[in-house]
Amino acid sequence: MTDREEPEPPEAPDDHEFSEGQGFDEPYDGFDLDPPELSVDDPSSVDPVDSRVVSDSLDERVVQNDDVDADELIDVGLSYLGINRHEQAADAFERAARFTDDEDIEQEAWVNKGIAHGQMEEWDEAVGAHREAIFVAEDGDFEAEAHTNLAYALWEFSEDEQAYEHAEEAVRKNDRLPQAWYNLGFIENERSRHEQALDALNNAVRLGFQQADVYEEKQRALEALGRDEEAQKVAEQAEDIREAQERDLVERE
């Protein structure tokens, strides 16, 4: 996805969490989901856990601020994603894409719009947005993110062969993008190309991808290759990561 911090993608129907490109908390410095600075006359009158306050403020900000720039619109869209208002996020990203004359910002906005549609499982719209992202800026800053997100959307749209092509293209465009290697590894596993899957997943780990899902995919590849002892060790790593994530969620609550 892009160089801002993105929320974690939803679980796919088969319990595989396909990576939506650039935006995992670690190691990628992704979406910043903190809302833009919003002014309130009396802060004590605002319930800090009431997401409606944030969303209403964002609505007013988008409607009334005529001189808002595309970067600000993208931040607004990301804030909407952070409170699960995906339709409004998609609208904000589209406005950003149409408002800017900077190809890289436009590409980033289209990628994020595609992700917002993906959160709503609107795969046709997601595919269209990611294709637009690729079209508007050949060799743009976010082209790899566009390809890996397009691969994700196409896979969910049951266009398996095209998904594989774009997953490969993503790592060709940026071989330092860990989520792109993870997505490719998942598809290689699905195609029963387990050696190739393992290579891709190892690349993702080497680049710092430390989600439990990548280790679970490694476990699947190793088991298919008959390397059961290694698979068990990897499964334990995946479980340790999930337990750590659960503890972190409890502590945040």
Please state the pTM of the whole predicted model.
Answer: 0.73
Residues of the domain holding 87: 1-143
Task: Look up the CATH number of the domain holding residue 24.
Answer: 1.25.40
d(CA 142, CA 11): 24
Residue matched to tokens 């266009």: 159
d(CA 74, CA 199): 35
Q: For residue range 165-221, list pLDDT tens digits in order.
A: 999 999 999 999 999 999 999 999 999 999 999 999 999 999 999 899 999 999 999
CB burial readout 112-132, b (16+ within 10 A) else e: bbbbbbbbeebbebbbbbbbb
Residue 99 is predicted with a pLDDT of 85
Per-residue pLDDT averaged across 90-113, rounded? 93
DSSP string, 139-160: T-TTHHHHHHHHHHHHHHTT-H
Instruction: Give a yes or no: residue 163 inside a domain.
Output: no
DSSP string, 85-119: -HHHHHHHHHHHHHH---HHHHHHHHHHHHHHHHH
Instruction: Give a yes or no: residue 170 inside a domain.
Output: no
Query: What average pLDDT does the chain have?
Result: 80
Question: Same domain for 139 and 182?
Answer: no
d(CA 59, CA 124): 26
Dihedral through CA 202, CA 17, CA 122, CA 66, nearest 10? -80
Task: Look up the CATH number of the domain holding residue 233.
Answer: 1.25.40.10
d(CA 143, CA 46): 40
